[in-house]
Amino acid sequence: MKLKQYTLRAAVVLAALAIALVSVKAQFFRGRRSRSLDQIPYEHKAEQEQMEKSLNPEFREDTFTFARLIFTEADANRDFGGFRTWDDDSPHADLNAIYRLYLVTSLKVRPGLNFINITTKELANNPFVYLAASGRVVFTDDQVADLRNYLLNGGFLMADDFWGDVQWEHFHEQLKRIFPEREPVEIGLEHRIFHTVYDFKKEPQIPSVGSFQSYGESYDPGWPYGEKGHEPHYYAIYDDKQRMIALICHNNHYGDGWEHEGDDTRYFDRFSEPMGYPMLLNILVYTMSH
pLDDT at 82: 57
pLDDT at 36: 59
Run of H or E including 245: strand 244-250
CB 197, CB 278: distance < 8 Å: yes
Average pLDDT of span 146-169: 97
153: CB partners within 8 A, 6+ apart? none
Average pLDDT of span 230-252: 97
Strands annotated E in 185-240 = 185-187, 233-238
CB 19, CB 64: distance < 8 Å: no
pLDDT at 6: 39
CA distances from 151 to 85, 158, 171, 186, 233 (A): 22, 11, 17, 18, 21
- Boundaries of every domain in the chain: 12-289
pLDDT at 57: 85
pLDDT at 290: 77
pLDDT at 83: 64
Residue 216, exposed/middle/buried by CB under 10 A (0-12, 13-18, 19+)?
exposed
Tens of pLDDT, residue by residue over 62-102, are 889 999 999 976 544 445 555 678 999 999 999 999 999 99
Tens of pLDDT, residue by residue over 195-220, are 999 999 999 999 999 999 999 999 99
Tens of pLDDT, residue by residue over 247-282, are 999 999 999 999 998 889 999 999 999 999 999 999
For the chain, the average pLDDT equals: 86
CATH 3.40.50.12140 assigned to domain 12-289? The reply is: yes
